[in-house]
Each structure stands twice: as structure tokens, then as C-alpha cells.
Amino acid sequence: MRWALVKVSLAVTTMVVVAFAVPLGLVIREMARDRAFSNAEREAAAVAPALSITTDRDQLERVVASAGSDAGMAVHLPAGDGRAALELGRRRAADEDIAAVRELGRASTTGVTGGWTLLQPVALSTGRIAVVEVYVPESDVTNGVGTAWAVLAGVGVALILGSVAVADRLGVRMVRPARRLVEGAHDLGEGRLGARVPEDGPSELRLAAAAFNSMADQVVQLLANERELAADLSHRLRTPLTVLRLNTASLGEGPAADQTRTAVEQLEREVDTIIRTAREAKPQTAAAGPGAGCDAAEVVRERMAFWSALAEDEGRKWRVAGADRPVRIPVARADLAAALDALLGNVFRHTAEGTAFAVDVHNGEDAVIVLVSDAGPGIPDPEAAMARGRGSGNDGSTGLGLDIVRRLAESTGGDVRIGSSVLGGTEVRIWIQLDGRAPAGGGHRQPRRRRPGRLAAVYNRARSR
């Protein structure tokens, strides 16, 4: 593109220079010629008054000498009144040219050796026609023409070089952003997702760079969402795996039981590997639209019915409160079920058999609180537990379960907090906002302060029971 612009500019400027310089050069040459012959006409006109008065040789020689020079001017007097023809000065014109001027009675120019001659007819007092011949050398005709042409050529070359330089700079200004755009696309195609293009250059290339950067951001977000989805789906497999692991403990001894337990452990390790490999980004869980959502109480009853069977096998006491009446929330049913399974699965995984747990649902005017508490040892570092990927490799935790719960709450404008429960262990509080306000900017955010109100009072009373 750069050289194409240079070539186009070179061709266009050259044509413009030639179109203007050639006619201007010809005009300058004609002006020099006209100037030379105008001077010759003035010299001839200076002799004409004397010829109309007298034809005396001595007087005419003085007039010729004062008007010009013997080498540059000649006077041709015709014969008459018994007097022979008289010629003053150096003659250069041919006889037929002089005769033609006398006959036609008007001035004429004719070429001679070394230049031109101007033949000017002058009427004498006797009625005959004399001819004044003025010599115009070639150097007078072309005087200044060469210099003017050289100046025109210099100006033309300067214009051409200037246009080429400007076209080259414009080409660089266009080619450099285009080259960076190509390099960015190449880098993105090779998997370097951080490749971005500076938004500079012409407006069209700036728009192209902005579109490319937006596309790259979208690609990164889509890939992150895909990895997140893979991690979340893999984490949901841990719920039935927990059930399998607990059931294998009651199989007793024997080769089949050992093989089953080994297979379950291997499957758990593979799922954990998938989760750790897939996690990379933290996309937001999409909030349900207007009119969508689920009955939180129904989902809690359903999931507790599932986990209660395992609780009875392990001798765990459990309790459900606040799920006896409908509680609508703007969260998809599958997402809430996955969040509850993640929390209850953590209870069964990280607390000893016989540890009690409870699920409480508190419904308010602007929010719904779901509490999952247990009587286990608690969580020493809640902040680390909330951070994705900080799970301990010793106990098989990926740190993904609590993050699933957090994203579900933040998709509604709520949050998740970890504290101490009234049972003596861990309490996970899920605050689900009912007004549909999504967190600004996306991603993780700091929980916003809320005014203590009716729901907070209910929540405090529930903790004190």
C-alpha cells in the first residue's frame, strides 16, 4: 500500500507538472521573442522620421548611428530622381525579401544566418518606400529562456519530490496501523489472547482496531465462560461422587468393595483434575429475566430430601426452617440446586460423621436469605475459602463450590458471607436480592452496605435460636 501510494502520487504530480510546465515554458519563449522584436521595432521607428524628411547619406548615417549600430541596422533607399539606390549599414536580408516588403508596404521578419532581421517599410518624401533592416541575433530571441526553463524544471522536480515524500509519510501512517492490526490478528490466531492493537492512525483503521480489540475481549470472555462452564459442570459431578464415596464405606471388605472404592477415588481425582484445569476466569452467572426464577423453598425441600438419606446413614441430625411456604427468587432452579448441593456436599465432605447441619430460609420484602450451617470445626480462613482455586489439595477441595454460590448471589445484586453458626461450626449466608439489580461492572465486587431492617432483624433472631 505504501509504494502504491507513492507511485500514484508520483504519476499524478508528474502529469500536473508537465501539464503546467510545458505550456508555461513555451509562453516564456514567446515572450522573449516578442521582447526582442519589440526592441527591434523601436530602433526602426527611431529612423523613420528622419527618412521622411531627408535622404542625405551623411544625415542618415548620423541618425542610424544614434538609433543603433552599423552592425545591427541597415537602411535601403530605392533609386529615383536620377540617383542610384543607396544602402547604409550591413545588409543581411535577401533582395527578394526587401522587394516584397516594399511591394506589400508592411513589416516582415525573415531568418538569416545567426538570427533574424526585421524589415520595416518607411515612406519617403518623394513617395517611394525605403526599408529599414534591424538585425536580431538568436541570443536576443532566447535571452533568459534557458534560465526560466531551469527554474521551472527545478520547481517541478521539487513538487514531485515533495509529493512523493508526503505520500510516503501518509503511506507509513496508514501501513503501520494496518501492519499492527495484521500482527495482532496473527497473535490472536496463535493463541496469544492478550494481543491488542493500538487505536491510532486514520479514522477507518482506528475503528478497525477498536472492533478488533472488542472482538478479542469477546473471544477471551467466551473462552473464559466455556472454561467456567466446564469447571462448574465438573463440580456438579462431585455431589453424586460424594454419595458414592459414602456408600462405598458401607460395602465392607472384599475385592469388589476395594475395587469400587478405588474406582470412586480415581473418579474423584479425575474430576478434581478437570476442575483445576478448566478454571481460569470468573464470569458472572446470568440473572434470570423478569418473571423467571424458582421457588427457593421447594428447591430446599427437594435437595434436603436427597441429602437426608445420607444424613441418616451417617447419623447426622438435620433441620429445615422457613421452607414451608413459597419463596420466589430471581434465580434459575438448576443454579440454586447446584449451589445448595455444593454447600451440603462440603458439609458431608469436611465434617465428621454425626455432625449436625441445618438449612434456614428467611423471606423479606427486598431479599431472601438462605443459611446453611453445621456443627463442624468451622473454617479458619473464610476469605481464602471464598477465593476460587485456593482449595487445599490435601482434602481434595478445589475451592470452586463456594465460588459457585457467590456468583449465584452476586448475579442478583446480593452476596455471600461466611461466619460462625449457632451450632458451633460454619455458617454460609446467601443474600439473594429480589429487586433484580445486577452488580455494576461485572466480576467480583465488594458487598455493599445495607440498612438494618425487618429482614436483618429476622436473620438475627434466626441466628440466636
Residue with cell 475385592: 255
The DSSP annotation for 299-335 comes to: HHHHHHHHHHHHHHHTT--EEEES-SS--EESS-HHH
Query: In 3D, which of 139, 43, 143, 126 has the Cα closest to residue 89?
Result: 43
CA angle 407, 413, 419 (to 5 degrees): 65
CATH tag for 286-464 (out of 2.60.40.2310, 3.50.50.60, 3.40.50.2300, 3.30.565.10):
3.30.565.10
| Ranges in the chain annotated CATH 3.30.565.10 | 286-464
Residue pair 145/33 in contact (Cβ under 8 Å)? The answer is no
Per-residue pLDDT averaged across 333-342, rounded? 87
Residue 292 has pLDDT above 70, yes or no: no
Rg (CA), the chain: 54
3 against 434, higher pLDDT = 434
Residue pair 396/271 in contact (Cβ under 8 Å)? The answer is no
Residue pair 465/422 in contact (Cβ under 8 Å)? The answer is yes
Please give the pLDDT value at position 354.
Answer: 92
Per-residue pLDDT averaged across 115-128, rounded? 81
Left, alpha or beta for 434 (phi > 0: left; psi -120 to 50: alpha)? alpha
398 against 129, higher pLDDT = 129
Left, alpha or beta for 158 (phi > 0: left; psi -120 to 50: alpha)? alpha
Per-residue pLDDT averaged across 362-385, rounded? 88
Judged on CB neighbours under 10 Å (0-12, 13-18, 19+), 432 is: buried
* Long-range pairs of 96-102 with CB within 8 A, sequence gap ≥ 24: 98/131, 98/133, 101/129, 101/131, 102/78, 102/129, 102/131
The DSSP annotation for 372-424 comes to: EEESSS--S-HHHHHSTT---TTTT--S-HHHHHHHHHHTTT-EEEEEE-TTS
Query: C-alpha grid cell for residue 364?
Result: 423479606
CA angle 162, 163, 167 (to 5 degrees): 120
**What whole-number distance in Å separates Cα of residue 399 and Cα of residue 406?**
12
Share of the chain above pLDDT 90, in %: 13
Q: pLDDT (tens digit, 9 = 90+) per residue, 177-228?
A: 888 888 888 888 887 878 888 887 778 888 888 888 888 888 888 877 777 7
CA angle 64, 117, 35 (to 5 degrees): 90
| Ranges in the chain annotated CATH 3.30.450.20 | 2-146
> How far apart, in Å, are the Cα atoms of 263 and each of 267, 269, 328, 350?
6, 10, 40, 21
Please give the pLDDT value at position 297.
Answer: 93
Residue pair 131/76 in contact (Cβ under 8 Å)? The answer is yes
CATH superfamily entry for domain 2-146? PAS domain (3.30.450.20)
Query: C-alpha grid cell for residue 354?
Result: 454425626
Q: pLDDT (tens digit, 9 = 90+) per residue, 141-176?
A: 888 888 888 998 999 899 898 888 888 877 777 778
**What whole-number distance in Å separates Cα of residue 228 and Cα of residue 446?**
21
Residue 390 confidence class, pLDDT cut points 50, 70, 90: very low
**What whole-number distance in Å separates Cα of residue 157 and Cα of residue 139?**
27
**What whole-number distance in Å separates Cα of residue 176 and Cα of residue 140?**
56
